[in-house]
Structure 1
Amino acid sequence: MLTKVLLILLGLSIILPSRSEGPHVESENRPSAYDDVYGPQPQAAEEKLLSEETKPTLSGPHSTLGKLPTATHILNSILNNCDHKLRPGIGEKPTVVTVELSVNTLGPISILDMEYTIDITFCQTWYDERLRYNGSFESFVLNGNMVSQLWIPDTFFRNSKRTQEHVITMPNQMVRIHKDGKVLYTIRMTIDAGCLLHMLKFPMDSHSCPLSFSSFSYPESEMIYKWEDFKLEINEKNSWKLFQFDFTGVTNITETISTPTGDFMVMTLFFNVSRRFGFIAFQNYVPSSVTTMLSWVSFWIKKDSAPARTSLGITSVLTMTTLGTFSRKNFPRVSYITALDFYIAICFVFCFCALMEFAVLNFLTYNWTKPRASPKLRHPDIRARALMPPRASAHQHPDAFVCQIEDSDESDGEEGPSCPAQQSLSPGGIQNPGGCCKWCKKYVCVVPRCEGSIWQQGRLFIHIYRLDNYSRVVFPVTFFFFNVLYWLVCLNL
């Protein structure tokens, strides 16, 4: 009986484990049974996530931090071995610094202060054998806070007046250290540099504004600058502020200057600009030319209208004086005359001559031709006639003449004798009409009518009463030829 019970218990112990393991093995051998279910299994995902989290702990602490300890160790080692107070290669060879420059913004150019503003990114490259390292890192990039721990060239800009380094949001400086010891130092700055402007051809002038830099303490025997194939990047898409100028190009020179502290290598960039002519033309040339031509209107006004002609002439002269002062308002106080000053001065002379023309005309016609007849003959109600003496006495007085002096309303207010051309009938007896000088007596006619006179035959004379007619032609023609000559000379120089 006991034997039967033991056999039954043994059989149950064999059957029960086989039934409990059957479903588990099936689930492992049939993973496709869960392919029809959308989404991952929660238990399987939890087990996988747990396995991934436990992997780094099994691999050690160095795998958790990545390569950071290695980079920190390399950087600390090269900085500790480098003395930033001494230049690389000291006592052996000069340090060669390769320069590259990128222009962000150029301008504005101040004519009054003779300076210009430029925003640049200045790059310097050199080799420092003390910064070499071995490792999988090709280079280290350090921000501006680490610059003080490295040796940096003491480059300064020789013609700078004010220099600003940008520090927003961090100092705009960067240092890149390569594994072969190559160091790249980049800094962004805004410089107000001096530019000597030669204004002789203003406003048709062109200028070359320099940007000169060198080492402050290292002479040429210790530090050498050179261009990297003169690589200069100019970003003209930025907001350049050359309001009155056009950028025409850039050139460079390298020279050595001698100072009491040694011979220094100086690198200079020249930014070439040319002035835009439109603004100056509308502000100075057009008003001065129009004012000069307006002064000629007085030639078409009657000479009896003294107030109108005088006011027009004085207004033209004062306007030209104002234009000359305005053109020098925002201009450096140079000691020479510019092209614009010469043009305005000539326009001022034309306006002044137009005013003086009326003064000369008024003086000659109303003073030099004053009649010498007695008051009885000038009475408006009296008509006097000088009769010729008897024929017999005419031969005794060959210089006698017949002249009728009349005062009528048909003379248009022009005073003087009605027959001035017959003042002398003798070929050599030229009288002085109205007290003229000897030159005026030969070449100038100062009476209303000069036809038929004997003294003017074969001579070129000036009819004073036609002075306005002469001026209407002489002034415009002279001003036209002056403009042609002026622009040919200024544009071809």
Structure 2
Amino acid sequence: MITKLLLILLGISIILPLRIEGPHAESEKGPSAGLDDVYGPKPQAPQKKLPAEEIKPTAIDTPRRFGKLLAATQILDSMLNNYDHRLRPGIGEKPTVITVVLSVNTLGPISVPNMEYSIDITLCQTWYDERLRYNGSFESFVLNGDVVSQLWIPDTFFRNSKRIHDYGVTRLNHMVRIHKDGKVLYTDRMIIDARCSLHMLKFPMDSHSCPLSFSSFSYPENEIIYKWDDFKLDINDGNSWKLLQFDFTGVSNETKTISTIAGDFMVTTLFFNVSRRFGFNIFQNYVPSSVTTIISWVSFWIKSDFAQARTSLGITSVLTMTTLSSYSQKNFPRVSCMTALDFYIGVCFAFCICALLEFALLSFLIYHYMKSRTSPRVRHPPTRARALTPLRARASAHARARQQQDVVCEIEDSEEDSDEEEGPSCPAQQSLRPGRTQCPGSRCRLCKYLCMARSCNGSLWQQGRLFIHIYRLDNYSRVIFPVTFFFFNVIYWLVCLNL
């Protein structure tokens, strides 16, 4: 009986595990059970790696990596333990040679009113320090700006700088690289606002050389020597140079020694040569000035009777030139010298003033002539000359001769002359026409150097003088003003462009 119970319990213990494993096996084989009859490779479930296996280094790599790290730490500690960053390399033996490589990232803008310019540079300085030599498998160590305070760094400063901005995002842009042979490379990136003396005499056809001077602040020439290695100017195609009105024409350098109360210092200067683009000034200053001057000549084709039109046109031209002159000085340094643009605008202003004065002179002469025409005629009785005694007649003749010498032109009011001449006649013509009588009260004092008759030959004592008629002033001005302005422009542009 007991034997039977043991056999039953043994059978139950064998059957129950098989029933429990059956559903799990079917569920695992369920998705792929129907793929046994399909042609092709069967899909396999990807094997996942445990996170501990991905991060955990192998036993072989761990001592190797930590071994290099410990070796680098030991080399740096051995170099800096007995290193005194207060003393320059080679002190008391020889001067330290600093090799400079300058990389220009951005040049500009150039501020004309403040006479300064902005430049973004990367300054690379290289020197040898025997105290930093080491032996090891590392060719060089690249260190960030935190180690700069533990090394000797040249005290280079820019002599003509106004403001200097260091890049501090995300860390200060300083880098130190130490080589096995003791060569040290120190790189620093900065933005400098430097002074630039702009000579504006030829503005807007001017060219300038903006300097960037640097030297040591405390070490004289017998302790630190600067040496140029190369000029590296990175000109990007993305218009990173903000020169605006200028074109970059080249770069040059100069090294000299200056004497100060602290000693003789070596100063190295880099010159950035730029020339101005004067296309903007042509359209903003030269063209409006020339057009305003030409418009002022329209008054020469307006009759003198329309005084209001000619006066308003002349005054408008003068005021326009004044506005243009003030606008050209808006973004300009307050210099005492006259620039080429100021000279051109000043000449255009003079042409507008002369056009206005020409009408004023014409109006005055016409008014004087019309006033003399309306004066009463003075007639002398013919019997008065016969009644005079010979002595009085001789004195009267001398008086009339002196009176004629003082007056070049006499104004006649006869009807036959009014049809032939509109202006006054000359004494030379009066001598050819003895029938005319002269009016002592209508003498033209302004005719002393100008003959105002349309057809005046002049007497013998008038030879060599200019004979002109008042009604022909506009005709003369129509030719004289444009021709003079044309020759002025030719000479102006030839001189300015060839200097």
Query: Are the counterparts in 2 of residues 405 and 418 from structure 1 also a CA contact under 8 Å?
Result: no
Does residue 462 of the first structure (1) align with residue 468 of the second (2)? yes
For 1:85-484, what aligned pairs fall within 5 Å after superposition?
85-228=86-229, 230-238=230-238, 239-368=240-369, 370-371=371-372, 404-405=414-415, 423-425=430-432, 434-437=442-445, 440-445=447-452, 450-451=454-455, 455=459, 460-484=466-490
- Rounded to whole Å, the distance in 2 between the matches of 1:54 and 1:167 is 36
TM-score, normalisation: structure 2: 0.77
- Rounded to whole Å, the distance in 2 between the matches of 1:60 and 1:389 is 144
Give the match for residue 18 of structure 1: none
- Rounded to whole Å, the distance in 2 between the matches of 1:471 and 1:54 is 100
Compute the displacement of 1:318 (Å).
Answer: 1.0
Does residue 485 of the first structure (1) align with residue 491 of the second (2)? yes
Query: Are the counterparts in 2 of residues 204 and 275 from structure 1 also a CA contact under 8 Å?
Result: yes
What is the root-mean-square deviation in Å for CA atoms of aligned residues? 3.8
Corresponding letter in the other structure for 1:237: D
Query: Are the counterparts in 1 of residues 202 and 340 from structure 2 also a CA contact under 8 Å?
Result: yes
Compute the displacement of 1:235 (Å).
Answer: 2.3
- Rounded to whole Å, the distance in 1 between the matches of 2:374 and 2:44 is 136
Any idea what the Cα deviations from partners look like across 1:180-233, whole Å, max 9, x if unmatched?
1000000100000000001111110000000000000000111110011x3333
What is the count of residue pairs matched by the alignment? 431
Compute the displacement of 1:40 (Å).
Answer: 10
- Rounded to whole Å, the distance in 1 between the matches of 2:441 and 2:149 is 97
Secondary structure class of the residue paired with 2:237? coil
Compute the displacement of 1:478 (Å).
Answer: 0.2
Give the match for residue 75 of structure 2: 74
Secondary structure class of the residue paired with 1:444? coil
- Rounded to whole Å, the distance in 1 between the matches of 2:441 and 2:101 is 85
- Rounded to whole Å, the distance in 1 between the matches of 2:412 and 2:281 is 65
* Cα 1:443/1:405, change in 2 over 3 Å: same
- Rounded to whole Å, the distance in 1 between the matches of 2:177 and 2:470 is 88
Query: Are the counterparts in 2 of residues 369 and 415 from structure 1 also a CA contact under 8 Å?
Result: no
Query: Are the counterparts in 1 of residues 369 and 423 from structure 2 also a CA contact under 8 Å?
Result: no
- Rounded to whole Å, the distance in 2 between the matches of 1:355 and 1:61 is 97
Query: Are the counterparts in 1 of residues 100 and 228 from structure 2 also a CA contact under 8 Å?
Result: yes
- Rounded to whole Å, the distance in 2 between the matches of 1:195 and 1:266 is 17
Compute the displacement of 1:67 (Å).
Answer: 1.1
Any idea what the Cα deviations from partners look like across 1:88-144, whole Å, max 9, x if unmatched?
111111111000000000000000000000000000000011111100000000011
270-279 vs 329-338, which deviates more? 329-338
Compute the displacement of 1:404 (Å).
Answer: 3.2
Secondary structure class of the residue paired with 2:85? coil
- Rounded to whole Å, the distance in 1 between the matches of 2:333 and 2:412 is 70
- Rounded to whole Å, the distance in 2 between the matches of 1:362 and 1:144 is 83
TM-score, normalisation: structure 1: 0.78
Compute the displacement of 1:243 (Å).
Answer: 0.4
Secondary structure class of the residue paired with 2:487? helix
Query: Are the counterparts in 1 of residues 425 and 456 from structure 2 also a CA contact under 8 Å?
Result: no
- Rounded to whole Å, the distance in 2 between the matches of 1:276 and 1:373 is 62
Corresponding letter in the other structure for 2:455: E
Compute the displacement of 1:80 (Å).
Answer: 1.5
- Rounded to whole Å, the distance in 2 between the matches of 1:387 and 1:217 is 103
Give the match for residue 8 of structure 1: none
Secondary structure class of the residue paired with 1:443? coil
Give the match for residue 18 of structure 2: none
- Rounded to whole Å, the distance in 1 between the matches of 2:204 and 2:487 is 21
Secondary structure class of the residue paired with 1:248? strand
Query: Are the counterparts in 1 of residues 377 and 439 from structure 2 also a CA contact under 8 Å?
Result: no
Corresponding letter in the other structure for 1:207: H
Any idea what the Cα deviations from partners look like across 1:48-97, whole Å, max 9, x if unmatched?
x99x97961xx596335241111111112112121111111111111110
- Rounded to whole Å, the distance in 1 between the matches of 2:81 and 2:43 is 56
- Rounded to whole Å, the distance in 2 between the matches of 1:149 and 1:54 is 35
* Cα 1:345/1:431, change in 2 over 3 Å: farther
* Cα 1:434/1:127, change in 2 over 3 Å: farther
Query: Are the counterparts in 2 of residues 404 and 419 from structure 1 also a CA contact under 8 Å?
Result: no
Query: Are the counterparts in 1 of residues 129 and 183 from structure 2 also a CA contact under 8 Å?
Result: yes
- Rounded to whole Å, the distance in 1 between the matches of 2:309 and 2:440 is 32
- Rounded to whole Å, the distance in 2 between the matches of 1:194 and 1:54 is 58
- Rounded to whole Å, the distance in 2 between the matches of 1:139 and 1:174 is 13
- Rounded to whole Å, the distance in 1 between the matches of 2:440 and 2:211 is 70
For 1:58-69, what aligned pairs fall within 5 Å after superposition?
62-63=63-64, 65-69=66-70
Query: Are the counterparts in 2 of residues 249 and 272 from structure 1 also a CA contact under 8 Å?
Result: yes
- Rounded to whole Å, the distance in 2 between the matches of 1:275 and 1:240 is 15
* Cα 1:431/1:105, change in 2 over 3 Å: farther
- Rounded to whole Å, the distance in 2 between the matches of 1:54 and 1:278 is 68
Compute the displacement of 1:376 (Å).
Answer: 9.1
Corresponding letter in the other structure for 2:209: S
- Rounded to whole Å, the distance in 1 between the matches of 2:46 and 2:456 is 134
Compute the displacement of 1:405 (Å).
Answer: 3.2
- Rounded to whole Å, the distance in 2 between the matches of 1:189 and 1:442 is 73
